Structure 1
Amino acid sequence: MEIRPSLRLFSFISIVLLGSVMAVGFSLLSVNYYISGLDKGLKGVMFDIARTTDVADGQSVDVIGFNVARRWEDTPEIIQKRFGSPPEEVNQLQKLKDQSSIFSIPENIYFVVLADMPEGGRKFVSRIMLERDRVELPGDTPPKNRLYWALFSALLAISVFSFILFMIMQKIAKPVESLKNWAKSMDQDNIQSSPPDFSYSELNVLASMIQSSLISAHRSLEREQDFLSYASHELRTPISVIRSNVDLLQRLSEKCPLSEKQQLTLQRIQRAGLTMSDLTETLLWLSRGDEQDMEPEPINLHEKVNFLCDELNYLLNNKDVDVDIDVESFQINVRATACHIVLSNLIRNAYQHTQHGQVKVIQSGSRVTIINSKRKIDSSLFETGSKIKKVAMGYGLGLQLSEKIIKRHGWFYEIADEQGHYQVTVDFCDSNHADPGKDFPRSGGHASTIPEEE
């Protein structure tokens, strides 16, 4: 199961991490400024002591914990040992400390400065702070406990910050969640209802925009459905007139034979009339949207396949196409009109878009597989996603309409295509009960099952 990222969780974690980094950064900066301030204060004291203390060469003077000497050899031995050589920079405080880690308090600290006197000359001023000399005042917290208290205070501050941030995000996320649920619940029954108040003006504006977009899309869909229905109804009459007149001309031709060219023209008109008639019936059936007159009824699927193959055989006139029909006796309860439309469109597409080669129609049980192949295929037609490929291998308006009908009924549907080979399989049982493992010829490629519409 794929875990999708949450914008709310991402924002919460990002802000908490950003706040924690800022808190740690400012804490380290504060500690650095605090220590730097202490060093500057200590340096000032050392300069004052150097100016007010007289000391001769060869001796050193201790003043309130500070040592003053004119020569490096006269400074305390531990200072010479720790620093190794006298400071080279004048008036710059040098510091060394014994510290086990950055989180622990230094055990011993050593300071030394080479002070340049205004009246002339230079003096070394040093200070030694040893752990054994440290005096603990009454009420002082032990250093180790101070570290624990600092860590506890930091965790407490982060926890309080996270809690406050969580409450703020809840206040913001709840209306957004309500907007999402409201948008998901929109359908044609409540699309005209006024959207609820989502607490924030930006969300209310967004809800109004969503509703306006859905209303516009719904009206466009209604207009398309109305146009489809009206156009289908209006086309039925002229198509019926064309077909009836074609039949009349065929009867008249029996008494007065037509020329070969006239006969070919009449056949073209007849084929076009049949194609338009089937297409109009399909569009009209899809535009109705209800199936009250489409109750399932038992039909012999093998007879239906044979009938349609014979009826559409005119599409193969003057083509170098071999048709192989393999059926077995099988009866199934299905909506007859939907089954007829799907089979008719699939077989018609195979016949229309195969100029030379072979068309196989295989019916086994409730499953029908239609394969159209070509002997010579232009490789340029097989670019992935190309519309040319779809037309060459059997796609068309009829196939698209068939897909809509199949989707509406939840039938199993599979497409597989390779260079020179195209296969469509439909199973008129429910897609949940269809057996994809039946022994059918397969060409690999892409396969898809279209679920039943809600």
Structure 2
Amino acid sequence: MKIRPSLKLYFFISVLLLGSVMAIGFSFLSVNYFIDGLDRSLNGVMFELAKTADVKDEHPVDIAGINIASRWQDTPEVIQRSFVNPPSVIGDLQKQKVQTTIFTMPKSVYFLVLFESPEGEPRFISRVMLEKDFIASTNAIKPSHRLFWTFVVAILAIVLFAFLLFMIMRKIARPIESLRNWAKSLNPKNVQAPPPDFTYNELNVLASLIQGSLISTHQSLEREQRFLSYASHEIRTPIAVIRSNVELLQRLNEKQPTTEKQHLVLERIQRAGLTMSNLTDTLLWLSRNEELNVAPEPLNLEKAVQQACVDLEYLLKGKSVEVTVKSEEHSVDTIAVACHIVINNLIRNAYQHTQEGQVLIKQQGSRITIINSNSKSDTGQQKSDSNQIAFGEGYGLGLQLSEKIVQHHNWYYEKTNTQEYYQAVVDFEKQGNSVNE
């Protein structure tokens, strides 16, 4: 199972890391500025001592731990060891530290600077600070304890920052979650109701946009459904008139025979009327299926299959197709109209798109299996079949509508399409859809 990233968690971690990095960065920057300030202060003190101290060769002066010498060889030996070469730039404070890590107290720090006296004589000013000097100046707190408490304070600061960030995010996320729950609860019955207040103006604008979009979509669906229902209902009357007049003409032809061409024309009109009637029933059923609560009724599947085969037999005229029908007595409690539509469309598919081959229709219990295979497989024939699917006598749309009916009633449906055959399986008692290609 794929774990989807959480925007809230991503934002929380990002801000927490950013805040921690900024806090640590500013802490190091503050320490550097603080140390730089101490160095500058010490440099100023050394400069003042260089102007006032009376120093002679071989007689350096030590004032408050600061050594002042007129020659490099008169400076303390530890300074000469720490700094290989004497300073050459006047006023440039040099510093050397002996320190294990950046998080521990320095064991010793050495300072050295070169100034000139008012008379222009050189003055080498140095200072040595040892670890005991640092300890004595920090109220006898051990460096290890100081480092421990520094880490404790830092961790507490990060925890406090994370807690405050969590509370802020919780306050901001609560209206967003309310917006999500409100959007999920929208349906055709309550979509027109005014949206609640989500505290923030941006969320209220977003809620209005969501509601407007859903209302527009719902209105479009209602218009399409009404049009589908009205059109299907109104078309049924002229279709019935066409079919009844065709039957009347056929009866008249029995008394006064017509030419073969006129007979073919009547057959084409009759086939088109039957196809339009089935398609109209399908559209009309789909347009009202979700609105009407039709009770299931017993339906004899064997009779339904046999009747569909007889009604659609005209599709096989002029073709070399072998049809095999295997059925058995079985009754199911289902929506009869929907069941008839599905059976007729599946059989029409098999009859219509088999030019020369075999069609097997097998009804066993509540399961119906329809397999049609073409013995012709040349390119031209495939193109012809393709055109029939797109522009045939209602099959393409009829099969799609049948699949929608199957999905609506949650009947089992499976289809397999290969170069050798096409197979469709529908079960009117088994639940669940399994569609394969």
TM-score range, shorter chain: 0.7 to 0.9
Tell me: CA distance 1:354–1:97, structure 2 relative to 1, closer, same or farther (3 Å).
farther
Partner of 1:447: 436
TM norm structure 1: 0.84
Matched, 1:424 2:424: yes
Q: Is the 8 A contact 1:294 1:336 kept in 2?
A: no
Partner of 1:136: 136
Q: Is the 8 A contact 1:191 1:215 kept in 2?
A: yes
- The Cα of 1:417 is off from its aligned counterpart by 3.4
- The Cα of 1:286 is off from its aligned counterpart by 1.5
Tell me: CA distance 1:132–1:354, structure 2 relative to 1, closer, same or farther (3 Å).
same
- The Cα of 1:90 is off from its aligned counterpart by 4.7
Tell me: CA distance 1:285–1:392, structure 2 relative to 1, closer, same or farther (3 Å).
closer
Percent identity over paired residues: 57
Matched, 1:336 2:336: yes
Q: Which amino acid aligns with 1:259?
A: T
Bigger Cα displacement from structure 2, 154-163 vs 396-405 = 154-163
- The Cα of 1:240 is off from its aligned counterpart by 0.5
Tell me: CA distance 1:423–1:84, structure 2 relative to 1, closer, same or farther (3 Å).
farther
Matched, 1:181 2:181: yes
Matched, 1:276 2:268: no
Alignment partners' CA distance in 1, 2:389 and 2:99: 77
What is the alpha-carbon root mean square deviation over aligned residues?
3.2
- The Cα of 1:416 is off from its aligned counterpart by 3.4
Q: Is the 8 A contact 1:97 1:106 kept in 2?
A: yes
What are the superposed Cα offsets for residues 159-201 of structure 1, whole Å, 9 maximum, x if unpaired? 2222222222222222222222122212222222222222223
Give matches, 1:290-305, under 5 Å: 294-305=294-305
- The Cα of 1:292 is off from its aligned counterpart by 5.9
Alignment partners' CA distance in 2, 1:392 and 1:99: 88
What are the superposed Cα offsets for residues 29-56 of structure 1, whole Å, 9 maximum, x if unpaired? 1111111111222222223333333444
**Structure 2 SS opposite 1:129:** strand
Alignment partners' CA distance in 2, 1:266 and 1:184: 55
Give matches, 1:310-329, under 5 Å: 310-319=310-319, 321-329=321-329
Partner of 2:227: 227
Bigger Cα displacement from structure 2, 401-410 vs 353-362 = 353-362
Matched, 1:72 2:72: yes
Alignment partners' CA distance in 2, 1:100 and 1:423: 81
Alignment partners' CA distance in 1, 2:302 and 2:347: 14
**Structure 1: where are the runs of 5+ without partners?**
437-445, 449-454
Alignment partners' CA distance in 1, 2:181 and 2:5: 18
Bigger Cα displacement from structure 2, 389-398 vs 178-187 = 389-398
Partner of 1:10: 10
Tell me: CA distance 1:226–1:45, structure 2 relative to 1, closer, same or farther (3 Å).
same
TM norm structure 2: 0.87
Tell me: CA distance 1:226–1:133, structure 2 relative to 1, closer, same or farther (3 Å).
closer
Q: Is the 8 A contact 1:301 1:329 kept in 2?
A: yes
Alignment partners' CA distance in 2, 1:157 and 1:363: 75
Q: Is the 8 A contact 1:368 1:425 kept in 2?
A: yes
Q: Is the 8 A contact 1:353 1:391 kept in 2?
A: no
Partner of 2:249: 249
Alignment partners' CA distance in 1, 2:266 and 2:219: 42
What are the superposed Cα offsets for residues 123-168 of structure 1, whole Å, 9 maximum, x if unpaired? 3322111113445258554333322332222222222222222222
Partner of 1:440: none
- The Cα of 1:409 is off from its aligned counterpart by 0.8
Partner of 1:109: 109
- The Cα of 1:290 is off from its aligned counterpart by 5.3
- The Cα of 1:297 is off from its aligned counterpart by 2.9
Give matches, 1:5-84, under 5 Å: 5-58=5-58, 60-84=60-84
Bigger Cα displacement from structure 2, 53-62 vs 272-281 = 53-62
- The Cα of 1:23 is off from its aligned counterpart by 1.3
Q: Is the 8 A contact 1:353 1:392 kept in 2?
A: no
Tell me: CA distance 1:47–1:409, structure 2 relative to 1, closer, same or farther (3 Å).
same
What are the superposed Cα offsets for residues 288-341 of structure 1, whole Å, 9 maximum, x if unpaired? 235867432333334433332332232233345554545455433222211111
Tell me: CA distance 1:13–1:71, structure 2 relative to 1, closer, same or farther (3 Å).
same
Tell me: CA distance 1:134–1:170, structure 2 relative to 1, closer, same or farther (3 Å).
closer
Tell me: CA distance 1:364–1:133, structure 2 relative to 1, closer, same or farther (3 Å).
same
Alignment partners' CA distance in 1, 2:357 and 2:25: 76
Q: Which amino acid aligns with 1:247?
A: E
Alignment partners' CA distance in 1, 2:285 and 2:138: 96
**Structure 2 SS opposite 1:396:** helix
Q: Is the 8 A contact 2:51 2:116 kept in 1?
A: no
Give matches, 1:119-268, under 5 Å: 119-134=119-134, 136=136, 139-268=139-268
Q: Is the 8 A contact 1:377 1:420 kept in 2?
A: no
**Structure 1 SS opposite 2:136:** coil
Alignment partners' CA distance in 1, 2:347 and 2:277: 15
Q: Is the 8 A contact 2:116 2:123 kept in 1?
A: yes
Q: Is the 8 A contact 2:98 2:107 kept in 1?
A: yes
Alignment partners' CA distance in 1, 2:239 and 2:192: 40
Partner of 1:442: none
Alignment partners' CA distance in 2, 1:239 and 1:32: 93
Tell me: CA distance 1:56–1:216, structure 2 relative to 1, closer, same or farther (3 Å).
same
Alignment partners' CA distance in 1, 2:180 and 2:367: 41
Alignment partners' CA distance in 2, 1:323 and 1:43: 110
